Amino acid sequence: MILSDKTIRDLLDQGQLGILPLVDDQINPAGPRVGKQIQPASVDLRLGTHFLKLDEHNIAYIDLENPAKYISFEKEEIILPPHSFMLATTMEYIRLPHDLTAFVEGRSSIGRMGLFIQNAGWVDPGFEGEITLELYNANQLPIKLTAGRRICQLVFAQLDQEAYYPYRGKYQGQRYATGSQIYFDFENEQD
């Protein structure tokens, strides 16, 4: 079941769900609170200031057994060239309870401009950290991005019961854009 804005607000108010910082809501004199970030069935997340791009001029290829080489930088504003890929992070630090999962969707208005946004995998129950975003510019023109701008939305779904093994993986507690750590997967373990 996808959570509504009311349930999201209740979980935030009770401290069961964590999203920090979250822009204050607007007061609607004719009815309930109107969210700046909380939407009818999601929460908008904002672009942070940390980015990673593959160091493509200093590596011959990417493999799954070794760490990829990235160039890390912090900026308030970036230009994403045409047909290019970059990792970014959200401003918000997320904390999910053991009975809630989430997934990241790009905002429709951003997708209509040719910017594809994905997160680095499903957000598992028990995850805590900033969300690393995968940005791809499908255009022939560069796209200018500014930190603090709502860029994607987090959609929450209730599990039928609490996860037996909540997330405690290699990205737990991540801050900043985090590159692939696939080289830690069990397939790469030596006997």
Domain annotation covers residue 29: no
Q: Which of 134, 162, 187, 189 is catalytic?
A: 134
Residue 32 lies in a domain: no
Which residue, 168, 165, 160, 161, is CA-closest to 129?
A: 168
Does residue 137 fall inside a structural domain? Answer: yes
Is residue 15 in some structural domain?
A: yes
Whether residue 31 lies inside any domain: the answer is: no
pLDDT score of 191: 59
Q: What is the mean pLDDT of residues 160-177?
A: 92
184, part of any domain: yes
Which pLDDT belongs to residue 32? 57
The region of weakest confidence among 15-24, 71-80, 86-95, 174-183 is 174-183
- Rounded CA gap, 87 and 189, in Å? 26
CATH classification at residue 52: 2.70.40.10
Instruction: Assess if residue 89 is contained within a domain.
Output: yes
Distance CA 9, CA 50 (A): 28
- Residue 44 pLDDT exceeds 60: yes
Q: What is this structure's pTM?
A: 0.88
Confidence band of 76 (pLDDT split at 50, 70, 90)? very high
Q: How many domains does the chain have?
A: 1
Q: How far apart are CA 126 and CA 145, in angstroms?
A: 30
3-state secondary structure of 70: strand
Domain limits at 52?
A: 5-24+37-188
Residue 53 belongs to some domain of the structure: yes
Q: What's the average model confidence in pLDDT over 142-171?
A: 94
Quick one: tokens of 25? 């809501």
CA dihedral 122, 125, 131, 132 (to 10 degrees): -40
Angle at 24 between CA 2 and CA 144, to 5 degrees: 80
User: Does the annotation mark 56 as catalytic?
Assistant: no
> Does 25 have pLDDT greater than 70?
no
Q: Work out the mean pLDDT of the chain and round it to a whole number.
A: 89
Instruction: Tell me what the mean pLDDT of segment 138-155 comes to.
Output: 95
